[in-house]
Amino acid sequence: MAFGSIMRFNAGELSIEMAPLSRDVMGEFIRPGMQSWTVTKYLVTQAKVLEDEYEWYDKTRTDDTSLVWGIWIIGADDARELIGTSSLHHIERGLFFSAGSGSLIFNAEYWGKGIASAAHKARTWYAFHVLGIDRIWSEVLQGNEGSRRALEKSGYYVTHVKRNDKFVDGTLKHADQLECVNPDPAPWKRWWGDDRPTKAAREARVRAHAAMEWAAQNVVCP
């Protein structure tokens, strides 16, 4: 696995490409990106140096339980600017085909422009439509409202809270645990079985369907 296939779409007026990373772009993560506390404060990490990013890349490239995409802004004359990553990780086939998910926009200039929401929708479509995954889970520290809302727009909902997960801004923060269940009838029924889905789950299923429809109409896979 390691890297996901190329996907292209627009977020507002911005042209976005999600594509495999190469080792020679690792320096883009730390200028200032992963050395900025504003970027990393809600992540389980500290400031990174180039050697850390090389180590992460080499490990990721051979990881058969993850799919990672770089997120690029495509400008005039096809100029490319790497601004973040999106991933499916801990991919496993057990009683259910499941995966965790994560994302990062390390260039704060592009926060609040709908890029993360669009990338989540594209990744959700890829997980469900291309890979056939039953369920995706994720985690967001409370206070990181933008990240939680972006996930909710693609069909995630909060299942429970992990208390006192990380110390941020002088305060212990809880972490919201979220999941997105494949909204198609067969995996949906398989996941819930004889249990009645909660209201939050049913509402999230509507959003997941909408995310899949958006991706089907807007994501181009060359």
pLDDT recorded at residue 19: 98
Nearest to 124 by CA among 52, 49, 209: 209
Q: Is the peptide bond before 183 cis (omega within 30 degrees of 0)?
A: no
Decide: 164 and 174 in contact? Cβ < 8 Å: yes
- Longest CA–CA separation in the chain, Å: 55
Q: Is 84 exposed, middle or buried (0-12, 13-18, 19+ CB in 10 A)?
A: buried
- State yes or no: pLDDT of 45 exceeds 80: no
- State yes or no: pLDDT of 188 exceeds 90: yes
- State yes or no: pLDDT of 41 exceeds 80: yes
Written as six digits, the tokens of 57 are 């890349």
State how many domains the chain has: 1
pLDDT recorded at residue 117: 96
pLDDT category of residue 37 using cuts at 50, 70 and 90: confident
CATH of the domain at 112: 3.40.630.30
- State yes or no: pLDDT of 47 exceeds 90: no
pLDDT category of residue 214 using cuts at 50, 70 and 90: very high
Distance CA 154, CA 103 (A): 13
Per-residue pLDDT averaged across 145-170, rounded?
94
pLDDT recorded at residue 115: 97
Predicted TM-score of the model (pTM): 0.94
On average, the pLDDT of the chain sits at 95
Per-residue pLDDT averaged across 81-103, rounded?
96
Strands 80-93 and 135-141: unpaired
Per-residue pLDDT averaged across 151-178, rounded?
95
Decide: 165 and 175 in contact? Cβ < 8 Å: yes
HEC sequence for 137-161: EEEEECCCHHHHHHHHHCCCEEEEE
- State yes or no: pLDDT of 150 exceeds 80: yes
pLDDT in tens, 129-149: 999 999 999 999 999 999 999
DSSP state of 21: -
Range of the domain at 19: 2-218
- State yes or no: pLDDT of 56 exceeds 90: yes
Distance CA 110, CA 64 (A): 30
Distance CA 151, CA 156 (A): 6
Distance CA 2, CA 21 (A): 10
Least confident of 61-65, 115-119, 166-170: 166-170
